[in-house]
Amino acid sequence: MVTTPREQLLKQLDRVDHLPSLPVVIAPLLSYLQQPLDSLQVNEVARLIEQDESLAAQCLQLANSPLFGRWQAVESVRGAVVSLGMRRMREITTACSLINLTPKNCPIDPTVFWEHSLGVALACRHFAREIGYDDPDKAYLGGLLHDFGVVMCFWVAPKEFALAYAQASSSHVPLAEAETAVLGIAHPEVGRVLAEKWHMPSDLTQVIAWHHDPERATEHQALVALVSLADLLCRMSGIGYGYTEDREVDITHETAFRVLLAACPDLQKLDWERFTFEMEAYLEEVRRLVSLVYRRK
């Protein structure tokens, strides 16, 4: 019996030994960093970071970068945590961990991909504050992790994913649409399978699984819808996957808008023109951060 590309890919997802080993580090780190900032311990954050040599080195590099206004040399991970503060370390360690997951020879330029992920994260946090969403930091993390499934597609089906990306790029359609056509499965479902396997928090798993279809989220719908809108806005503003999508978008007609409006009535008052203009200012910061963090082996 011939197996479909979808069945083959799902079978490969069960072979965790063929995937990068970094999730062994990232799972406890993510879990710990999700606690309230005032309950985090400097020594514990440093201990978790130090379990991965590359992550520790990148955190030190960032701590010593003028980008964060640090002019005195920081020589230890603990010093980096103290110097940058818990909030910034939560963002940096998560970003570095995920960037380190990206395999070589990706069909998408990894720098472009991580610019998109960080751009969505920044947009999510700003968006959350503008509309009165109660946890802007969780919105940031959801934005950063929303395309977790794309990274996993790199690993489990590199050739097939390259075909899907080429089709999306040449046809100017959403990546998930091309993935479904070529692979029979799209990155949100791939991400959900791995997120559940690695016991990622349920709210982040819902974001990863349903950011293209927030009405189908079984919980945390407002967070999923917020990330969905920020993702769409970034892609329409040129902070996407390295190609343009041929589509007209009216944000107020999107399903995600309706879902989010039910939870955050202040969304109705948002000045979309000003918000879109402010998003453009994030791009330069995102590019600088990615260029500092991303280092090919």
Report in angstroms the alpha-carbon separations of 149 from 91, 112, 129, 221, 283.
Answer: 19, 16, 27, 19, 23
d(CA 94, CA 195): 15
Using one digit for the tens of pLDDT, what is the confidence trace for 208-235?
Answer: 999 999 999 999 999 999 999 999 999 9
In this predicted structure, what is the pLDDT of residue 187? 96
Three-state helix/strand/coil letters over 234-260: HHHCCCCCCCCCCCCCCHHHCHHHHHH
The predicted pLDDT at position 296 comes to: 44
Cα distances from 16 to residues 55, 163, 261, in angstroms, run 21, 23, 39
| Calpha distance 55→5 (Å, rounded) | 34
d(CA 187, CA 211): 10
Residues 266-284, mean pLDDT to the nearest whole number: 83
Predicted structure pTM score: 0.83
C-alpha 162/C-alpha 143 separation (Å) is 24
pLDDT band for position 24 (50/70/90)? low
Q: Which of 92-101, 197-206, 249-258 has the lowest average pLDDT?
A: 92-101
Reported as a single tens digit per residue, the pLDDT across 30-66 is: 778 778 888 889 999 899 888 877 778 878 877 777 6
Q: Pick 215 or 94 by higher pLDDT.
A: 215
Of 32, 30, 29, 34, the residue nearest 49 (C-alpha): 29
Amino acid identity at 117: S
pLDDT band at 112 (very low <50, low <70, confident <90, very high): confident
Distance CA 255, CA 263 (A): 13
Furthest-apart CA pair in the chain: how many Å?
64
Task: Report, as an integer, the average pLDDT of 89-96.
Answer: 75
Give the pLDDT mean for 180-185.
Answer: 93
Cβ proximity of 206 and 189 under 8 Å: no
Which range among 10-19, 36-45, 128-137 has the greatest average pLDDT? Answer: 128-137
Instruction: State the pLDDT confidence band at 255, using cuts at 50, 70 and 90.
Output: very high
Mean pLDDT of 251-276: 92
Confidence bin at 297 (pLDDT 50/70/90): very low
Return the pLDDT at 224: 98
Q: How confident is the model at residue 15 (pLDDT cuts 50, 70, 90)?
A: low
Residue 220's CB is within 10 A of a number of other CB atoms, namely 21
Which has more confidence, 24 or 121?
121
Higher pLDDT, 208 or 84: 208
Contact 56, 100 (CB under 8 A): no
pLDDT at 16: 56
* DSSP classification of residue 268: G
Q: What is the mean pLDDT of residues 130-146?
A: 92
Which residue reads 């349920």 in tokens?
202
- DSSP state string for 16-85: GGGS-STHHHHHHHHHHHTS-GGG--HHHHHHHHTTSHHHHHHHHHHHTSGGGT--S---SHHHHHHHH-
Mean of pLDDT over the chain? 84
| Inter-residue contact 25 to 97 (CB < 8 Å) | yes
Measured N-to-C along each axis, helices 86-99 and 42-49 cross at an angle, to the nearest 10 degrees, of 10
Domains of the chain are 5-18+106-293 (1.10.3210.10), 21-100 (no CATH)
Scan for tokens 């400097």, then name that residue.
Answer: 42
3-state secondary structure at position 279? helix
